[in-house]
């Protein structure tokens, strides 16, 4: 299966569980691997035949910024939901979210989720 890769998408948002975190903007770094069929786009050279990378980035950032999640796990689920709902051509998504410089001894901490369309069930209210 073909894939669209987006690495290092920086999203500035309110994120975290602690009171002090709810008062500041912090960066999250997103990596996305989106499995989809790119055959038609590779032949046609037309944007209409692929997934729009800019739209993927905008939607991913927007859903996180609006939610102001406490957990990066929840942020990842929100991105999965919006991308599966918006783009029917997506077969699966692997998302990694890192929170840089939050632990002094680590460059970043993060999580990775992988979901397939067949397993996708949007959460109520999302």
CATH number of the domain that 34 lies in? Answer: 3.30.1130.10
Residue 120's pLDDT is what? 77
Residue 125, in any domain of the structure: no
In a domain, 126, yes or no: no
- Tell me what pLDDT residue 57 has: 98
Strand, coil or helix: 81: helix
Residue found by looking up tokens 């990066």 in the block: 72
Q: Which residue has the tokens 């770094």?
A: 29
Distance CA 108, CA 102 (A): 7
Q: Is 75 a member of any domain?
A: yes
pLDDT at 119: 84
Q: What domain range includes position 34?
A: 3-119
Structural domains of the chain, count: 1
Q: Does residue 18 sit within a domain?
A: yes
115 assigned to some structural domain: yes
> Could you state, in chain order, the average pLDDT of each consecutive group of 10 residues for the chain (126 residues)?
97 96 97 98 96 98 98 98 96 98 93 93 59
pLDDT of residue 1: 85
pLDDT of residue 69: 98
């Amino acid at each position: 299966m073909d894939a669209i890769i987006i690495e290092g998408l920086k999203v500035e948002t309110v994120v975290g569980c602690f009171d002090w975190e709810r008062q500041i903007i912090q960066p999250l770094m997103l990596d996305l691997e989106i499995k989809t069929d790119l055959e038609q786009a590779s032949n046609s050279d037309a944007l209409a035949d692929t997934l729009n990378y800019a739209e993927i980035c905008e939607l991913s950032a927007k859903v996180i910024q609006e939610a102001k999640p406490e957990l990066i796990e929840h942020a990842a689920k929100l991105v999965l939901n919006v991308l599966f709902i918006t783009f029917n051509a997506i077969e699966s998504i692997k998302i990694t979210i890192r929170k840089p410089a939050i632990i002094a001894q680590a460059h970043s901490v993060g999580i990775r989720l992988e979901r397939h369309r067949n397993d996708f069930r949007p959460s109520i209210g999302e």
